[in-house]
Structure 1
């Protein structure tokens, strides 16, 4: 199979997809498209986890699995506009403080003269 430009691959930004994103998005591809990705991977990065994933999906497709109705061009969750967690702002940040010179904040050190043996 001819070496394709990464811009002409069945998955946009294939080279930048993490393995989890690739795993979910490759399910929408046909056997021919998975073979294209596999040939590209062998000629470029040849990353073992990726080739194993693509080989496994290709085996599934040859065994009768059908591509899902997902959109390979959809916005990737790992680069999406929604962020998890709360935003950090001066209003939500804790007050700065320095650690105590010794001991813990609730157990202050005592001078030696106050100790009993």
Structure 2
């Protein structure tokens, strides 16, 4: 088993702040040695069961012959991208407000349940 690496030498940047879903995708591009590093770090620090399960499962896949996928584990996560803040909706792109249609008024009367056709 690998020794406890320092936070700055981990194969995934910002590892401690990755959500589980992002971690599952990013570990696919790592080698068995890199996954072992993360597993050792996780076990000596937070030791979160769902994270250790993901890392252990990926390590077993790699040891069984799986190959790391292409991709950059150091790529910026979408939520960290610069320049895309706030909502793209503006007053010019918003729909006109509308009210719910009236029900049971003289010009639009409701039908009793027995009169409905299927």
Q: What is the TM-score normalised by the length of structure 1?
A: 0.70
What aligned pairs does 1:1-117 form with structure 2 within 5 A after superposition?
Answer: 1-81=2-82, 87-92=88-93, 106=102
Q: What is the TM-score normalised by the length of structure 2?
A: 0.70
Q: Which runs of 4+ in 1 moved over 4 A?
A: 92-96
Mapped to 2, the partners of 1:78 and 1:90 lie a distance apart of: 25
Mapped to 2, the partners of 1:72 and 1:38 lie a distance apart of: 16
CA 1:93/1:23 → structure 2, altered by over 3 Å: closer, same or farther? Answer: same
Q: List gaps (5 residues or longer) in structure 1.
A: 97-103, 108-117
Mapped to 1, the partners of 2:83 and 2:57 lie a distance apart of: 31
- The Cα of 1:88 is off from its aligned counterpart by 3.3
> Aligned to 1:88, what secondary structure does the other structure show?
coil
CA 1:54/1:82 → structure 2, altered by over 3 Å: closer, same or farther? Answer: farther
RMSD: 2.8
How many residues are paired up? 103
- The Cα of 1:43 is off from its aligned counterpart by 1.0
> Aligned to 2:35, what secondary structure does the other structure show?
helix
Mapped to 2, the partners of 1:16 and 1:37 lie a distance apart of: 13
Q: List gaps (5 residues or longer) in structure 2.
A: 104-118
